[in-house]
Homo-oligomer: A and B are copies of this chain.
Amino acid sequence: MHQQEQKITAFPPSQKTTIKRIPQRGSYQSDTIYDILDEGLVCHVGFVFDGQPFVIPTAYGRVDDILYIHGSPASRMLKSLQQGINVCITVTLLDGLVLARSAFHHSMNYRSVVIFGTATLVQNTVEKLAALKAFTEHVIAGRWQEVRSPNQNELAGTIVLSLPIVEASAKVRTGGPLDAEADYQLPVWAGEIPLKLSATTPIPDSRLDTEIALPAYVSHYKRSAFMSC
């Protein structure tokens, strides 16, 4: 699935993707960018409609160097995007709160990816099905083969848009606070509160046949190697 990762190791910074604020936190490495995209569950899609920016949260999937989003043909966002307008898609993972000795130096640890480009309507059925599989497997690996596949009506009732991951950058902050030198003597606790997205006990559907066992990919669901339950 990720064969092309071997070929692309970094995306050339563009005027838009160049990290200007604290550039040492920026990365254009494809493995860094793909890792963030693969851990995230929701992206924020930015587009312009009648001069007004919209930012809409939605699910996504990745196949190699293509990001897919999907939804109903009635969606204003998808109707706008398939016209080939400019789009910005951002994925943000929040890793911790950084508590400094001064209010000014408080911060957050995070990993984010910003992708610019234009989205294209996926019309090829083979690519569309591969994208739909990527959505499901992105959220929960192992699920696609167990569930009923999309039928013709469902395929027709789903719009899939593709966005090439070409003009993209990541920004990452890690570690503790960076205080002003004079503040290190202040009697204030300083450090990091790590944050993690954790799965809690699965809730069976009210109509679930009680004979059906909980799959391991549900009971042991973890978002990343770092995710705890």
Chain B, Cβ-Cβ closest to A183: B148
Q: Which of A94-139 contact B (CB under 8 A)?
A: 94, 97, 99-104, 106, 108, 110, 112, 114, 116, 132-133, 135-136, 139
Contacts of A76 in B (CB 8 A): 20-21
Q: Are B189 and A194 in contact (CB under 8 A)?
A: no
Q: Complex formed: what's the CA distance from A147 to B103 in Å?
A: 6
Question: Which B residues lie within 8 Å of A100 (CB)?
Answer: 147
Q: How far is the CB of A51 from chain B (nearest CB, A)?
A: 7
Which residues of chain B are within 8 angstroms of A25 by Cβ–Cβ distance? Answer: none
Q: How long is the Cα–Cα vector from A198 to B104 in the complex, in angstroms?
A: 25
In the bound assembly, the distance between CA atoms of A143 and B132 in angstroms comes to 45
Q: Which one of B41, B102, B132, B199 contacts A147 once the chains associate, using CB atoms below 8 Å? A: B102
* A51-B86, A55-B55 as given contacts; A194 in contact with B200, CB under 8 Å: yes
Q: Which residues of chain B come closer than 8 Å to A151, judged between CB atoms?
A: 104
Chain B residues contacting A41 (CB-CB under 8 Å) are: 94, 97, 108, 195
Interface pairs (16), CB distance under 8 Å: A16-B52, A20-B74, A44-B57, A44-B90, A48-B51, A53-B86, A57-B92, A97-B139, A103-B148, A104-B150, A106-B147, A108-B139, A147-B186, A148-B188, A194-B202, A195-B199
